[in-house]
Amino acid sequence: MGDDATDGAADPNDADDETVIRRDRFSGGPAREFLSSLAGDSRIFDADLAVDRAHVVMLAEQGIIGDDVAGEILTVLDDVETAGHSDLPDGEDVHEAIESAVIDRVGPDGGKMHTARSRNDEVAACIRYRLREDLLDAIEATLALRESLLETAAEHTETVMPGYTHLQPAQPITVGHYLSSYAAAVGRDTARLLDAYDRTNESPLGGAAFAGTPFDIDRERTAELLGFDRVVENSMDAASARDFLAESTAALAIHATTLSGLAEDIVVFANKGYIELSDDYSSTSSIMPQKKNPDTLELTRAVAGDATGELTGLLTTLKGLPRAYNRDLQRAHPHTFRTVDAVVEASSIAAGAVATADWNAELLADEAGAGFATATGIADLLAMAGLPFRTAHEVVALAAEKAENAADSGDSDDGVTAAVLDAAAEEVLGESLFEYVDESAVESALDPAASVASRDSVGGPAPGAVEASIKTAGESVATDSDALDARRETLSAAAERLQREVDQYV
């Protein structure tokens, strides 16, 4: 409190006097805008009101402030909420502005709201309180994407397509197998977000500036009233820790990276005509009327850049910060909020694009056998018949070379046939291929669908194996969905409990 406030001439109940002193003592000058986070703090306006309410209820329960004062403060907090963030008085941040608004309405007793706390534990509590909602939305978005991938995969367990390495046709797989691979990856993204949520949902409140408080506060109680799972015990850690931001942003950036791979594939598949995006997820060109462009997926792909940039910005801001609170931290959480907004949107777009796209089964089947993509299957067949795999590999490689030479010289366009393989075997082994395998088995292994069906070990592309994977993945979505619901219920039960407690005072 400034000297003027203790001046006997000032009426201690004159709220205006009080706020003038508060706001003007420092930073009325050129740095005011630079210092202020008030505009961006709109994101934590509701969180701050909840934190204020829980704190005031606890202070009253502990006998630190009177019930009547608590009632007055809690009553005007409702008015402040109704008036909204945009109606707050000027201030360095939302915490200061709400406190000023309370003091403006209650008088100096409104200043009791800030007993036994600091803006440092307050802002940390607000960020965690708000971020957990955002993380739950992100988790929900990953669940929707997994459902979309798995539903589409289930429709395509028999739709053969080329699989690639180095963007070269490699081995035939199915669309169901391909989409399930992304459902699995997004499943791990969900798990990382759930972990991040659980470490975010801890209460720093009561840590005060960093060094605790002499008041007989009940930290467990404010944690409970706000739906936090536990307190961040060490008061210095409570006020300083932002690793929950780093962890959340990293989990989001990893999910964005997963999305970018999926988006890139879809862009490539659309280019090849394998997939047709629904009009809802396509754009056209302003000049070329025939164009149907996969812009939504290109933007999804780009969000990985945003998220990685935000993560880098955040970690760089946090790196080397001394204990305990430093104002740098004011610029930390916006990185995470920007990331979560962009990534949730991209994830939902990817889910919609996958759910509504059409796969061109005929073209995919044709392409699945292109480039002698069944070569590995032939080598496997020979190895299963007892040839060392390396020798089998040599036979098939020579057959591929022979087929290519025949095509180049205009002799034959048939590609690798059983006859070509046999000729290669004669050269490499000095005996016929059919000493080892039946011709019909070779014909079958050259067929992409049969090749896919043969790879039926756990996680393989054979329709049965993919169906089994889809079932397990679906159970995992249900488990994660229950985990999400449980967390949402904990939060809404806490919000109701807090409201009931507040109602006893107002």
Cβ closest to ligand ARG, residue 166 vs residue 327: 327
Half-sphere exposure of 35 (CA within 13 A, CB side): 13
Cβ closest to ligand ARG, residue 258 vs residue 330: 330
Q: What's the gap between Cα 197 and its chain centre? A: 11
Cβ closest to ligand ARG, residue 113 vs residue 329: 329
Options 166, 327, 390, 500; binder of ligand ARG; rule CB under 6 A: 327
Closest listed residue to residue 50, CA positions, set 487, 491, 490, 486: 491
Provide the angle, in degrees to the nearest 10, between the axes of the packed helices 295-318 and 333-356: 160
- Give burial (CB, 10 Å; 0-12/13-18/19+) of 261: middle
Q: Is 322 in the site for ligand ARG (CB under 6 A)?
A: no
Q: Is 424 in the site for ligand ARG (CB under 6 A)?
A: no
Residues annotated catalytic, as ranges: 166, 285
Options 103, 161, 275, 329; binder of ligand ARG; rule CB under 6 A: 329
Restricting to residues 57-76, which ones interact with ligand ARG according to CB under 6 A? Answer: none
Which stretch, 227-235, 290-298, 326-334, 471-479, contacts ligand ARG (CB under 6 A)? 326-334
CB 40 to ligand ARG: min, Å: 9
Options 18, 43, 80, 120; binder of ligand ARG; rule CB under 6 A: 120
The answer to whether the beta carbons of residues 402 and 390 sit under 8 Å apart is no
Q: Is 213 in the site for ligand ARG (CB under 6 A)?
A: no
Give the Cα separation of 51 and 122 in Å (integer): 7
Give the Cα separation of 406 and 269 in Å (integer): 30
CB 42 to ligand ARG: min, Å: 13
Q: Is 240 in the site for ligand ARG (CB under 6 A)?
A: no
CA angle 412, 171, 429 (to 5 degrees): 60
Q: Is 93 in the site for ligand ARG (CB under 6 A)?
A: yes
In sequence order, which residues have a C-beta less than 8 Å from that of residue 386 and are 6 or more positions away?
436
> Other CB atoms closer than 10 Å to residue 250's CB: what's the count?
20
Which stretch, 57-65, 116-124, 285-293, 398-406, contacts ligand ARG (CB under 6 A)? 116-124
DSSP code for 162: E
Give the Cα separation of 134 and 336 in Å (integer): 10
What DSSP line would sit under 249-294, residue for residue? HHHHHHHHHHHHHHHHHHHHHHHHTSEE--GGG-B--SS-TT--B-
Q: In whole angstroms, how far apart are CA 23 and each of 44, 89, 339?
A: 21, 10, 32
Q: Is 347 in the site for ligand ARG (CB under 6 A)?
A: no
3-state secondary structure of 442: helix
Binding map of ligand ARG across residues 33-52, x = CB under 6 A, - = no contact? ----x---------------
Give the Cα separation of 14 and 367 in Å (integer): 81
Q: Is 119 in the site for ligand ARG (CB under 6 A)?
A: yes
> Which residue's Cβ lies closest to ligand ARG?
93
Cβ closest to ligand ARG, residue 85 vs residue 393: 85
CB 319 to ligand ARG: min, Å: 17
Helix and strand numbers (H, E) in the chain are 20, 6
CB 306 to ligand ARG: min, Å: 22
Q: Is 255 in the site for ligand ARG (CB under 6 A)?
A: no
Cβ closest to ligand ARG, residue 95 vs residue 117: 95
Cβ closest to ligand ARG, residue 274 vs residue 337: 337
Cβ closest to ligand ARG, residue 95 vs residue 112: 95
Q: Is 123 in the site for ligand ARG (CB under 6 A)?
A: yes
Restricting to residues 136-175, which ones interact with ligand ARG according to CB under 6 A? Answer: none
In sequence order, which residues have a C-beta less than 8 Å from that of residue 68 and are 6 or more positions away?
none
Q: Is 203 in the site for ligand ARG (CB under 6 A)?
A: no
Q: Is 130 in the site for ligand ARG (CB under 6 A)?
A: no
Options 213, 296, 308, 330; binder of ligand ARG; rule CB under 6 A: 330
Beta strand segments in 333-375, E: 358-359
Give the interface size with ligand ARG as a residue count (CB under 6 A): 10
- Residue ranges binding ligand ARG (CB under 6 A): 37, 93, 95, 119-120, 123, 325, 327, 329-330
